[in-house]
Amino acid sequence: MTEALALAYIPARMTELGHTAYSLRLRHYLLGAKKKLKIHGEGQLFLLLEPDCMISVNSDSGVFDLTETNINELSYEHQGSIRIRNYSAVPISVKFIQVIPKKETPCQQ
Amino acid sequence: MKEQLTIIPIRITKAGQQYSFQHKLPRSAEKIIGIETGVIMRSPLPLIAGNGIRQFKREVMLGSLRLQANGSSNLFYAADIKADDNSIIQGEFIHAPGPAGQPGFPFFDFKVCTHGTKREEEPLDIPGCSIVSGIYRDNTGLLFTNPVHYHINIYVWTSNLPA
């Protein structure tokens, strides 16, 4: 997924989920050779941007792994507990757009 | 309120298979009122030894299922799919276990409750969705060396809009 597609996709998806206010963060993770990473993304959306072919992203809502032959569909939208794995022997970076829903009630001063 | 049932079939043939699916609900469906799952084994499970004469066998978890609806409900259902309910035979006279580590006598080795069990769906209340998508992750690749073939049926109960 490209940045442009993600930015066009997010408003429609968040409206569908019932959130009118949300924050965006660009997360760029660096994974060393054969390293794993776990992200706690409960209540948020993580959109995978232009992934490398040697990474595996496994979450509560889907899988992205180009090396896996037992999958019938790849997912670019992830949420919940997200496990990232670098299959490569060299460091790899993984980019996400993180969508954090805001509370609808304004903060009391 | 008129209820309607739609079935989502999943066929698992490879160990560690991860199957994503999307299922369109009928146009008349107002909301999801229940989910039920069933398993049909297409190949026998490898024998798992019990722990002594009482034959307490752990249940084989075939995999995990997660369902997501469009609309604000998002991820609404998660379940472990089991091959069999081993606790169903505990204390039942009809089950005659064999010696330690061995299966029971074939004639008596029925894994059924004498009085039967009533299958019921898990009640839910998910309004305003038209598509159910989900992912099923097979777990048998971690348990057994040989692939286990089976079918899973996901029964989606919906209530219909009044005509």
Which of the residues A73, A74, A78 would you substitute to probe the B interface, choosing the one with the greatest number of B C-beta atoms within 10 Å? Answer: A73
CA distance A90 to chain B (A): 26
Q: Does B75 touch chain A (CB under 8 A)?
A: yes
Whether pLDDT at B11 is above 90: yes
pLDDT digits (tens, 9 = 90+) for B57-86: 677 889 999 999 988 888 999 999 888 766
Q: Could you tell me which residue, B2 or B51, shows the higher pLDDT?
A: B2
Mean pLDDT across B24-44: 89
Q: Could you tell me which residue, A105 or B79, shows the higher pLDDT?
A: B79
Q: Look at residue A108 in the predicted model and tell me its pLDDT.
A: 57
Whether pLDDT at B154 is above 90: yes
Q: Does B64 touch chain A (CB under 8 A)?
A: no
Task: Report the C-alpha gap between B89 and B29 in whole angstroms.
Answer: 38
Whether pLDDT at B90 is above 90: no
Cross-chain CB nearest to A61 (options B15, B70, B75): B75
- Confidence class of residue A33 from pLDDT cuts 50, 70 and 90? very high
- Chain A residues in contact with B19 (beta carbon < 8 A): 72
Cross-chain CB nearest to A16 (options B18, B19, B70): B70
Mean pLDDT across B45-57: 63
Cross-chain CB nearest to A60 (options B66, B70, B138): B66
Mean pLDDT across B30-44: 89
**Complex ipTM more than 0.95, yes or no:** no
DSSP annotation string for B14-75: STT-EEEEEEEPPTTEEEEEEEEEEEEESSPPPP---SSTT---PPPEEEEEEEEETTTTEE
Mean pLDDT across A39-64: 93
Whether pLDDT at A71 is above 80: yes
B37 near B155, Cβ under 8 Å?
yes
Which of the residues B23, B67, B131, B135 would you substitute to probe the A interface, choosing the one with the greatest number of A C-beta atoms within 10 Å? Answer: B135
pLDDT digits (tens, 9 = 90+) for A83-101: 999 999 999 999 999 999 9
Note whether B68 contacts A61, CB cutoff 8 Å.
Answer: yes
Per the prediction, chain B carries an average pLDDT of 80
